Amino acid sequence: YRNPGPLYLPKGKGFGHPVDSPIVLPPWLSEEECNYYASKFDKTGFTGALNYYRNIDLNWELNAPWTGAKVKVPVKFIVGDLDLTYNAPGAKDYIHKGGLKSDVPLLEDVVVIEGAGHFVHQERADEINKHIYDFFKKF
């Protein structure tokens, strides 16, 4: 989830690493944390996460009543500039050219964190915590 280019997977390739290459943890994820998460997934597998995708049609059906609903609370939107979803076609225009503001009328701020990916809250925890704290202080 960390690439400013378009998402495509050429034949025989994955998300940037060959299957047999060693995995280097990012600086924001310790070996201890990684082992903790691995132990949890070892017990339960990825069932919870996979069930969302297994039920994708039902999810759409259940969420249908909220199609077009506006978010009616104050919002500060924070995203990493290397997040795949931020770099998906049309996402930046939607976020910065009025689409997001149309769906979230009380949008107060959009913050793009340079050099951060999809897990911006882990990659830049202190910076994100300050943004959240400053936002909440207003209330």
Please give the pLDDT value at position 42.
87
Answer yes or no: is pLDDT of 67 > 80.
yes
Helix orientation angle between 56-63 and 47-54, rounded to the nearest 10 degrees = 70
| Alpha-carbon span 76 to 120, nearest angstrom | 14
Answer yes or no: is pLDDT of 4 > 70.
no
Answer yes or no: is pLDDT of 70 > 60.
yes
Q: Which of 17-31, 50-64, 120-134 has the lowest mean pLDDT?
A: 17-31
Please give the pLDDT value at position 99.
97
Please give the pLDDT value at position 28.
86
Domain ranges for the chain:
30-67, 70-139
Please give the pLDDT value at position 138.
94
| Alpha-carbon span 48 to 45, nearest angstrom | 8
Q: Give 54 or 13, the one with higher predicted confidence.
A: 54
| DSSP state for residue 66 in the 8-state scheme | G
CA angle 79, 107, 58 (to 5 degrees): 70
Q: Give 41 or 11, the one with higher predicted confidence.
A: 41
What is the arithmetic mean of pLDDT over 54-63? 91
| 60 alpha-carbon distance from chain centroid | 19
CB distance 1 to 83 below 8 Å: yes
Beta bridge partners of 83: 2
Spatial CA neighbour of 135 closest among 74, 63, 51, 54: 74
The tokens for 122 are 């882990």
> Which helix or strand (DSSP H or E) is residue 127 part of?
helix 125-137
User: Helix (H, G, I), strand (E, B), or coil: what is residue 19?
Assistant: coil
CB distance 11 to 127 below 8 Å: no
What is the arithmetic mean of pLDDT over 37-51? 85
